[in-house]
Structure 1
Amino acid sequence: MKKTEQQKMANLRFVCKERSSFYRTVTKRVNDYFKDNNISKYGNGTMYLKSLLFIGGTVLLYSLIISEIFSPWVMFGLALILGCFKAFIGFNVCHDAIHGSYSPNKVVNKMFGLVFNAIGANDYVWKITHNLVHHTYTNIPGHDEDIDVAPGLVRLSPAEEWKKHMKYQHFYAFPLYGLASLSWVFRKDFKKFFQKNIGQVENTTHEPIEYFNLFFFKAFYYTVFIVVPILVMDITVWQFLFGFIFMHVAEGLVLGLVFQLAHVVEGTDFPEPSPESGNIEEDWAVHQMQTTANFARKSHIANFLCGGLNFQVEHHLFPNICHVHYREISDIVKATAHEFNLPYHENETFGKALVSHYNTLKLFGHNQYKRKEVAATVA
């Protein structure tokens, strides 16, 4: 029998009731915004336009490459853009659908969630690793596996064991991010699906349909993006590999950078459970404010391309609200955070967020750098 999410949750709890009034207040104010303006929390015309643009653009780019009407170098350029468009589908369409915030219709959410599978990932595994684990245990070492992107190679939290080569990680981490998409397509989903635990959450019971979907859609992706190009196109194996690998490198860089700029930047915290109680001595919503950061909040380009992932503060507090509304509610969240004397981490531009992530990588690359030292540096 399939377990409920509550049954699958680990024992770690957030136990500071004294500060829970922040979440009640900000939730009421955000709900009042939608009610007063008679606006749905779900997707609107902008959301549908973005879906058409990114899904349609991906199909068009793939078709142009397969047609071979351009020179090899032009097709290589199209492959790079195709990789970016696949990432944009994930950000702008599938992310909301899998959270259930794309549409009030569950069938519509499921349909667009399955698009995630068609571009090489797996919606079911993502629900567990992202919706359940990451959104609950954000930046908590040993629980949030999003800060374990390359264990032993890149140190993304002060609690991770330091190794000598990590003093150079601010240089080599970025090329490694480029491999994230290849790992996702060929390794990550299989590994996560069959892991006994994800973080500290039990992961042993899956419905039969999820086994089918995992293998069927992986086979579909391999057929469309590997078998068909090799059979149809008049190119050598090395030319195919060159285009295929760099398509994924482009996708991986876009995915890696956007996600890392939300949690692994200067100012965000990496709290560990209390050794006495085994809990986080903080309210869950306050914990989200301490561990999450926005970037380029006022940029129309970033807002359009990133699918609200540059509004991670709002997204972590309200994952059930479609990302097209985050810009409007961000002022409410920021004002309420300041009213309750809570942090509202943000970098004004993508460039500043990138520098902040670089600085954090460099900082965590220091020998035996601990969490208390991070807090002292930020203070």
Structure 2
Amino acid sequence: MPGFTQRVAEATPDTRDRAVDGLRALAILGVVGGHWLVTALTARPDGSLRIDSPLRYLGGLAPASWLLQTLGLFFLVGGFAAARSASTHSSLWVRRRLVRLGAPVLAATTALTAALAVAALAGVPGGTLRTWTVLFVQPLWFIAVYAAVTALTPYTMRLDQRLGALAALPFAAAVAVVDLFRYGPWADAVPASLGYLTVLPAWLFTYQLGVAWARGRLGRRAAWGLLGGGAALFAALLGWLDYPASMVGVPGADRSNSSPPSLLVPALAAVQAGAALLLRERFDALLRRRARLWAAVAAVNLNAMRVFCWHLTAVVVLCLAVRAHGLTDRPAAHSWVLARAAWLPVLAAVLAGLVALARRIEALTDAHRMLAGAVAMAFAAYALTVY
């Protein structure tokens, strides 16, 4: 660690905006930690592992999801970085960004396909294999959405040129309109698939704010407006319009704020964006003072997509290896949550090992892209049958 800290310090220019990297790392760790705390794998009589959640039984835990649902920060920083990385945002720039996103996904898909085959030969129940597939695919949906938003970067830049920070508002308005149709008096006549029209605008809202931030359009006044306005909207949706309290999906619930996103998503993202803007200078100063903390932030950022691809597989691997309280018991008591929290360091160690393995696999797949692509297509066909 001291050697890595020194190398990171030497490689970081003084002009680097460390707060932005810190916010990205914070967003990643929030999502990972949140998933680890709400994703339970319960052992069934046939020995298979099935997905459950403590939020199904312990509704009082829902406010914790307000802190741990940090994808809004990730899209905010993504928009900021995109606006700073190139001035023209040509098609070549977009292709390069998509390749950077896709390489870890391709390697992870190839590796998991082989792992599923080995696990099946070793006698792992089919139900567990299906659960593993579902948990692996879930983060990929986020990466697919992030890739789509990235591809739209040239258009977000043009919107910012014309409307400035106000360019983000139409995206939130689009989510509100869809929610009105989904949850209004005529909801019974509206197909459930209509809700997925919110997927892009819900996350483009924060991405567009990131573009405006990079161009200096969001000062402290705007930051306070985002913080206060987002909090007011969030409170109104929960208190007056009876939106679900949890920011993440709850098994068996009729409505979800995350899949597809509801208006609660941009409301929370506005709060996070406002707080990030207000705390940016202090956060940057902290990361400049603490070399080890900055090195840890750099490590998380270097492996961001690998962490997203593998963090739920770490849960499966640990639960297959160890059947203990907080891992495979029914998550119906607060003691389960405390036990799972105690397992977090072990999950982090398992994930670190998987990420290290993923780096090696990615190096191999560069020379075998066609084979990796064929394996990925086979996995996609299997995933469609079980998801």
* TM-score (norm. length: structure 1): 0.30
Return the structure number with greater helix share: 2
**Bigger relative contact order, structure 1 or 2 (CA pairs below 8 A, ≥6 apart):** 2
* TM-score (norm. length: structure 2): 0.30
